[in-house]
Amino acid sequence: MKEHYDVIVVGTGAAGLYCALNLPERKKILMITKKEADQSDSFLAQGGICMLRGEADYNDYFEDTMRAGHYENNKKAVDLMIRSSNSIIRDLLMRNVDFERSEEGDLLFTREGAHSQPRILFHEDITGKEITSKLLEQAEKRENIEICEYMTMVDLISRDNICGGVVAMDEQDEIYDIRAPYVVLACGGLGGLYKNSTNFPHITGDALGIAMKHQIALENLDYIQIHPTTLYSKKPGRRFLISESVRGEGAHLCDRNGQRFTNELQPRDLLSKAIFAQMEKQDTEYVWEDMRPLGEDMIMKHFPNIFKRCLEEGYDVRKEPIPVVPAQHYFMGGIQVDLGSRTSMKGLYACGETSCNGVHGKNRLASNSLLESLVFARRAADDILFGKKPEPCRAGAIDRKCYEDRENLMAGYRKNVLNEIERMKNSHE
């Protein structure tokens, strides 16, 4: 690892990788990640990725996104995402991403909760892994992209609100002072702060705490999405998500008596509330999701990973319902960015779940996350290439003593983030 790069990207999920791949090969790029490169939440996304299905679909897609977000969405960001979707999908196909197709070779679409029609491309029930693994494979082949695993960002280097690089630490707590005129934060969400989450536990919102330290604008940190259906388990660790597509294809939610109790295709926040209410009403720790209406062929072809995981837990979804419970899943708030993914600090960008561009409003529409990440990652790359260059950062040498107690430092960031979530929550009440 060198001391100077053209661009530093923090995170190796879909947003970080796509941003790096959209920069020219003359740019020397460093990508750092806390764990292994494939341990980002992008790899866990099951359902799929949305796309606009012709101009006739625009108004419906726009309204579906706005309604799910309680009309708190940034309309310009929503328009940009939808209008960019076809070019993003064409690019993914050129990058050999494999989406499901009919026997005639046409792309197949599925439907999820709160969508008025099928507009979601998918690869079995591991769409995120299919997309992100192909992007990672290409990034690893690029000579100008250096990927450094087990490297944690512990601070930004800045002066006069101009970003000049990052301070990072490896697993042996060695400190690295890495300089670049552009830094892209693509660090994911904050699920690791919660006991029950579908996220990797090491993704703990570090970038948010660091942004707070540098007085970088944040937005709606209390907008945290609960996914209605994760597989109930008493085991500790990450919760296994039962994709929205399962309900979109016809699965039922039932109470302990086997009776349906709600509309399964509501937006996620409303459905989670309905499930919690049912659990309280019947004094249970879960409700039941019945996949049998889908039929065995649909289950085995479209949801093989879900079938396998449930079988490992002792449930055959072809023959019986499974217990499900809501859990923390996604983060709609984040570091405030504009339509070019620029933060309030010059030279600093944010994209993916770390950022808040307003696309999702108060609640995210199913399968908009991968699309939003890719659209605004490419916007960040475009702004780095074609936008106005920031003035050079005049920051001097870092004070290494500030980072010697790593655990206390990171715990402080996490505490500040949780406190700010509560503060924002109170301000919205």
Neighbours of 101 (CB within 10 A): 11
CA distance 222 to 60: 28
Q: Looking at this protein, which amino acid is placed at residue 212? A: M
373 Rama sector, left if φ>0, alpha if ψ -120 to 50, beta otherwise: alpha
Neighbours of 149 (CB within 10 A): 16
Catalytic residue among 239, 268, 309, 342: 268
Please answer whether residues 229 and 306 qualify as being in contact, where contact means their C-beta atoms are separated by less than 8 angstroms: no
CA distance 171 to 175: 10
Please answer whether residues 257 and 225 qualify as being in contact, where contact means their C-beta atoms are separated by less than 8 angstroms: no
What DSSP string describes 135-195? Answer: HHHHHHH-TTEEEE-S-EEEEEEEETTEEEEEEEE-TT--EEEEE-SEEEE-----GGGSS
Neighbours of 237 (CB within 10 A): 10
CA distance 398 to 133: 35
What DSSP string describes 7-64? Answer: EEEE--SHHHHHHHHTS-TTS-EEEE-SS-TT-SGGGG--S-EE---SGGGHHHHHHH
Is residue 312 packed enough to be buried (19+ CB in 10 Å), middle (13-18) or exposed (0-12)?
exposed
Provide the terminal-to-terminal Cα distance of the chain, rounded to the nearest Å: 47
CA distance 265 to 268: 8
Please answer whether residues 316 and 228 qualify as being in contact, where contact means their C-beta atoms are separated by less than 8 angstroms: no
Residue 128 CB contacts under 8 Å (≥ 6 apart), including other chains: 14, 41, 42, 43, 44, 45, 46, 370
268 labelled catalytic: yes
Neighbours of 269 (CB within 10 A): 22
Closest CA to 292 of 263, 322, 270: 322
Residues with catalytic function:
268
